[in-house]
Chains A and B, each alone.
Chain A
């Protein structure tokens, strides 16, 4: 009985190691780049899952923290300020800065829940984006809409990851190298998320999500626990942002549109809120399928001589359709967490909860 899961883990590990080569050989090297982005979005989705899935705080401005992480990396490792710190020094700073902003967003919104919180976080996202866009004067901090260019790649033992690595006579391309770095971080963060979920802190988050008043009455310091959720989620996004900046080599405020926030939220809703495998599946589907659709344009050109249906339009169309179908057939997501599944299935359950207005003390 015990050997079986262990074997499965070994096979999974081998698959993850071989994946870029399989994908590269089967679909072409451009798909390895897609794979890199899938991992970045898995990181983001894991972060947002803490805020939305665990603690039940609807955050629509999550990409703001991704942007902060990315800009911290860019400013400290690019010719913009002439600073070139190593990645292992910057990534913790990216996480800390994003986490700090998470607390900054969390503090004034402690009393808000649901729709109201969503609106404020939406606003927060726009504030950050507009700041990044305009902070090129009077002092040029972010280089405004032009963004920051020539960001240092990650360097590991003297080798910059933006160059292929020669290994046993083989040339391993840059996107493959980044894949392994991103994979390592993703597995690390996944472990953190899993362990947090099943802990005293994770239970406090769940209690907060279920009933804030009862959580407070059971001795949960709701303020600290909420701020912790915001800070943790934001720190994960900050890490993803730093990795993104180094991978891409160029960032501008345009990289961090509101659409990205929705995309990450869609990933966890589609995959199954609160459930880590679901969240990962969501990220794979929502990054992979649009990429696949891109090739539909080439197919049309080959078959019909012209592009009848623009793949970009088709993408939005299918996206909408998928979400509508989801809401009808699998409202808890493709791989729902045990709790969400029962929550949505159960029509009975406890007496109507007392109104949230009961909680009139200072939060």
Chain B
């Protein structure tokens, strides 16, 4: 390969006791790609996300972001390295305001400590103002302009998904991993979300997407990988993968012809 991939997942396995949730999974996501990760429920997609973001320890294998190892590192180091994520089951800070949620996302890119906060040094005050401004910009960017004061837990479902994305963007990622970002949304909201994803990509971000919505995946993704029972059974352009016998078998069950 001429240009090394942004994300390189090499032979990753994750076992929970006797259960192999991921078995020897390798994939690589190139810069500026929208990469889809699909597969039936329980295939190990979210497990792979958790391995990438340091919530799980790998049983075997390696993960690199832009050449730097992510395996064995702590979640906050991985965010600092430039990989941010959202959660399938939405994990916002429900009792903080929407704006505060996004402000938390600025944590890894800011420095102010106890002394700065207590003494309100000029540096700390400037930083605090910058955090607030950036958070406001991001709220507007994802379409939550006037919702800053609402408690995150009181936002509508679709807005909560958007807010999670804004919060992840606040960490200045190079790769944004989205775990079923349009689940439970209506067609209009889905269209808005795909527009948002395209805008993000146009801004230079690489997206890794777990999604069940076949149409969305077909429309958006440059490449997809299919997981089934913890193994990668196919990878390639969406149109090709869709016709893959093993993929059809995995989704429809039974023997592949």
Contact = CB atoms under 8 A, between A and B. Distances in A.
A264 B146 CA distance: 40
Interface string A212-223: 011111111110
Given A196-B118, A206-B93, A206-B96, A216 B154 contact: no
Contacts of B91: 211, 213-214, 217, 353-354
B140 to A, nearest CB: 20
B199 interface: no
A351 B128 contact: no
A199 B57 contact: no
Contact of A350 (B74, B88, B131, B153): B153
A228 B114 contact: yes
A353 to B, nearest CB: 6
B108 A207 contact: no
B225 interface: no
Contacts of A196: 114, 117-118
A286 B18 CA distance: 54
A351 B117 contact: no
B103 A203 contact: yes
Given A350-B160, A361-B57, A232 B114 contact: yes
A360 interface: yes
B112 A201 contact: yes
A352 interface: yes
A346 interface: yes
B167 A200 contact: no
Contact of A219 (B87, B112, B114, B171): B171
A359 interface: yes
A362 B75 CA distance: 10
A218 B54 CA distance: 12
Nearest to A196: B117
Interface majority SS (helix, strand, loop, mixed), chain A: helix
Nearest to A198: B117
Interface residues of A, number: 43
Interface string B154-191: 10000010000001101100000000000000000000
Interface string B85-116: 10111111111100010011111111011101
B107 A192 contact: no
Given A217-B53, A342-B151, A354-B87, A206 B107 contact: no
B28 interface: no
A339 B153 CA distance: 11
Contacts of B79: 217-219
B126 to A, nearest CB: 12
Interface residues of B, number: 52
B93 A210 contact: yes
B152 interface: yes
Given A214-B87, A219-B80, A232-B114, A203 B54 contact: no
Contact of A199 (B95, B117, B153): B117
A219 B107 contact: yes
B185 to A, nearest CB: 14
Nearest to B103: A203
B160 A203 contact: no
Contacts of B116: 199
Contact of B118 (A192, A214, A351, A360): A192
A349 interface: yes
B154 A349 contact: yes
A64 interface: no
Nearest to B112: A200
B103 to A, nearest CB: 6
A253 B203 CA distance: 63
Interface in B52-81: 53-57, 74-76, 79-80
A222 B76 CA distance: 8
B96 A210 contact: yes
Given A220-B76, A354-B89, A359 B55 contact: yes
Contact of B75 (A191, A201, A217, A339): A217
Interface of A: 191-192, 195-196, 199-204, 206-207, 210-211, 213-222, 228, 232, 339-340, 342-343, 346, 348-354, 358-362
What 10 pairs across the A-B complex have the smallest Cβ distances?
Answer: A219-B108, A199-B117, A219-B79, A210-B93, A349-B153, A216-B75, A214-B91, A343-B95, A221-B76, A207-B104
11 contacts: A199-B116, A200-B127, A203-B96, A204-B104, A210-B93, A210-B96, A219-B107, A350-B94, A354-B91, A360-B57, A361-B74
